[in-house]
Structure 1
């Protein structure tokens, strides 16, 4: 999966998140795709840029990626 594809997924997850849950869904993105992101040495910054969401969310993506080593997504 490419950075562009991951950016599209991130944008959709952010846009479709329930009200007041956008940051949670960004963390969830990092959890769901963390292994893939780490395996391919993709940066959170590149993915957030490809998504078109606010650059400040790269920190939240990184948190989700870090969590992906310890948790499994239910959805």
Structure 2
């Protein structure tokens, strides 16, 4: 078990491979975040100006936390 973990952690990646991995993970995360934010806009009605934009972008980034909070609050 430790040998497999050591082999996994000693793997060297190029910067381009890191960027590709981040893109592969980031695109679905962003899509789900946008869908979550579009379907949960009730909190934006009381906001005005730049606060709407910041709150919307924050909900895109933090959708996993908001999903958990929504499940546990109801």
TM-score, length of structure 1 as denominator length: 0.28
Greater relative CO (CA pairs within 8 A, separation 6+):
1
Structure with max Cα Rg: 2
| Structure with the bigger percentage of helix | 2
